[in-house]
């Protein structure tokens, strides 16, 4: 069992996602990877479906993974993870492998988890494989140069949803909520949570809970992307914090059929404070921003987070 990390001083010093990778300066997903690897420890196998965290990490025939790592297609991480897990189960039962049973972790982007890889994820969860499937959600197909994905917010500009005179708002669809989709309808799922880079210890502890669960677990982690969202590379953590403080991203756990909200902003900020800092939203007009506000309000109401958005500065904690 992996213990919960109480304070930053209890976080392990050891790195299993080491220095030396070609991710963006200020890359949110890279920080997610580092924290996940730190929390999971040496007894881990990573599966890396195609996406930024494959291409940028393993550029040029090398990589920063101090634990075993295998590439999978963007389509099939859930399937490959099922195979790895099933292999260890069989080999241990048959005495063909006598070492420790490794943790199996998938690190999929939003494409590999919520779009082209969703079928494989669902299959893996349905079959009950003991795998932690993590979606680092940077809200676009970023590796290919920022194209819309199902989690790209309404109104965001990507190279497939540019804003122009005929389509002023850019993206015209509301994002898919993969955590909700996954949570309901997979009876073998043992643990599900959302996490944010604004709360790194919470993130690491959710990773550990997911690994401790005997059966499949799913973590959906928002990972701000300086390239795609178009903010300065030092603002990654600020963006993550603003996302949860505005309600654009919500933090909770789902276990044994019950939701637990793990963070509620004391005073919710208007979404505009989040939106105005990102180049991908710079074309939006007040009425567009209002539409997003309404969407977020309704969403929070649905999960019973009754905090009204107010524009004064909330305390930082």
Partner 1 sequence: MEYDVQKLFEEPGLIQITTWARGVIQNKDARDVVFALANAASKEGKYVQAWENYVDLPDRVNVPVRAYARISPNPIESKYIYENENPDVVVLTEEGLVKGNNVLKGLKPGGVLIVNTKRDPEYILKFLSDTSNLGILGCVDATGVTGYIKTLSGAEGATDASGIGAGVGAVLAGAAAKAKEMVKLENLLGTVKNQDACRYGYENVKLMKVNEVGEVVSIGKIKQNKYDLEGLPFAGTVPSPKKENEGMVTGNWRTERPILTKELCNDCLICWLDCPDATIFKTEDGLIDFDLKYCKGCGICAAVCPTEAVTMVPELDFVD
Partner 2 sequence: MGKKRLITGVVATAEAVRLADVDVISSFPIRPYTGIMSELARMIADGELDAEFVHAEGEHAQLSVVYGASAAGARTFTGSSGVGVTYAMEVYSPISGERLPVQMAIADRTLDPPGDFGSEHTDAEVCRDQGWIQGWAATPQEALDLTLLYYRIGEDPRVLLPQYACQDGYFVSHIAGEVDVPDEAQVKEFLPPYKNKHQLNIYEPQIIGAQIEPDMGPPLQYQRALAMRNAKEVIKEAYDDYNRIFGRNYSPFVEEYMTEDADVVIFLQGAHSQTAIDVARRLRNHGEKVGVVRLRTFRPFPTEEVRDALSKFKVIGVVDNSANFGIAGGGGVLLTEARTALYGEGDKVKTVGFVAGLGGEAITRDEFYRMFAKLKDIAKTGKVEQNAYWVPFEL
Residue 87: CB minimum distance to partner 2, A: 4
Partner touching 102 among partner 1, partner 2, none, CB below 5 to 8 Å by kind = partner 2
Token pair in block for residue 310: 């107010």
Task: Report the residue number, 56 or 189, with the smaller CB distance to partner 1.
Answer: 56
Partner touching 100 among partner 1, partner 2, none, CB below 5 to 8 Å by kind = partner 2
Helix (H) or strand (E) holding 290: helix 286-302
Task: Report the residue number, 126 or 160, with the smaller CB distance to partner 2.
Answer: 126
Residue 61 as a binder of partner 1 (CB under 8 A): the answer is yes
Partner touching 34 among partner 1, partner 2, none, CB below 5 to 8 Å by kind = partner 1
Q: CA nearest 17: which of 3, 35, 2?
A: 35
Task: Report the residue number, 66 or 92, with the smaller CB distance to partner 1.
Answer: 66
Residue 200 as a binder of partner 1 (CB under 8 A): the answer is yes
Q: Helix (H, G, I), strand (E, B), or coil: what is residue 196?
A: strand
Helix (H) or strand (E) holding 49: strand 44-49
Distance CA 317, CA 276 (A): 22
- Cα separation values, 133 from 11, 197, 248, 259, 288, Å: 22, 17, 22, 19, 34
Residue 277 as a binder of partner 1 (CB under 8 A): the answer is no
Task: Report the residue number, 26 or 247, with the smaller CB distance to partner 1.
Answer: 26
The site for partner 2 (CB under 8 A) is made up of 42-45, 47-48, 54-55, 58-63, 65-73, 75-76, 78-91, 93-94, 96-97, 99-100, 102, 119-120, 122-123, 126-127
Partner touching 237 among partner 2, partner 1, none, CB below 5 to 8 Å by kind = partner 1
Q: Helix (H, G, I), strand (E, B), or coil: what is residue 72?
A: strand
- Cα separation values, 138 from 27, 52, 171, Å: 10, 10, 16
Residue-wise over 217-247: b if at least 16 C-beta within 10 A, else e? bbbbbbbbbbbbbbbeeebbbbbbbbbbbbb
Helices (H), 189-235: 200-212
Site string for partner 1, 141-170 (x = CB under 8 A): --xxxx----------xxx--x-x------
DSSP state, residue 109: E
Q: Which of 25, 86, 87, 261 binds partner 1 (CB under 8 A)?
A: 25
Residue 95: CB minimum distance to partner 1, A: 26
Strand intervals (E) in 168-311: 191-196, 217-222, 251-255, 258-263
Contact 173, 188 (CB under 8 A): no
Contacts to partner 1 by CB under 8 A: 8-9, 11, 13, 15, 17-28, 30-31, 34-35, 55-56, 59-69, 143-146, 157-159, 162, 164, 197, 200-201, 226-228, 230, 232-238, 279
């Amino acid at each position: 069992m992996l213990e919960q990390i109480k304070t930053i001083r209890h976080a392990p010093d050891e790195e299993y996602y080491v220095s030396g990778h070609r991710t963006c300066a200020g890359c949110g997903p890279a920080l997610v990877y580092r924290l996940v690897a730190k929390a999971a420890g040496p007894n881990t196998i990573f599966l890396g479906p195609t996406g930024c965290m494959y291409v940028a990490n393993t550029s040029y025939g090398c990589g920063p993974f101090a634990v075993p790592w295998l590439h999978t297609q963007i389509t099939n991480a859930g399937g490959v993870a099922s195979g790895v897990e099933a292999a260890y189960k069989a080999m241990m039962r048959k005495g063909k492998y006598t070492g420790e049973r490794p943790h199996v972790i998938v690190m999929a982007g939003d494409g590999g988890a919520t779009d082209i890889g969703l079928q494989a994820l669902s299959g893996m969860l349905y079959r009950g494989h003991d795998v932690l499937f993590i979606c680092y959600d940077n809200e676009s197909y970023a590796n290919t140069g920022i194209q819309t994905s199902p989690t790209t917010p309404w109104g965001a500009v990507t190279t497939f949803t540019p804003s122009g005179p005929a389509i002023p708002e850019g993206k015209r669809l509301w994002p898919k909520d993969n955590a909700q989709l996954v949570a309901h309808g997979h009876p073998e799922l043992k643990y599900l949570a959302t996490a944010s880079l604004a709360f790194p210890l919470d993130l690491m502890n959710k990773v550990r809970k997911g690994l401790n669960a005997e059966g499949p677990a799913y973590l959906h982690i928002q990972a701000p992307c300086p390239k795609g969202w178009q903010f300065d590379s030092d603002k990654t953590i600020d963006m993550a914090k603003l996302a949860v403080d505005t309600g654009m991203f919500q933090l909770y756990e789902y276990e044994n059929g019950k939701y637990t909200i793990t963070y509620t902003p004391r005073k919710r900020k208007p979404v505009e404070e989040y939106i105005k800092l990102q180049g991908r939203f710079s074309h939006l007009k007040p009425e567009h921003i209002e539409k997003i506000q309404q969407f977020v309000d309704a969403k929070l109401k649905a999960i019973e987070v009754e905090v009204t958005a107010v524009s004064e500065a909330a305390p930082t904690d």
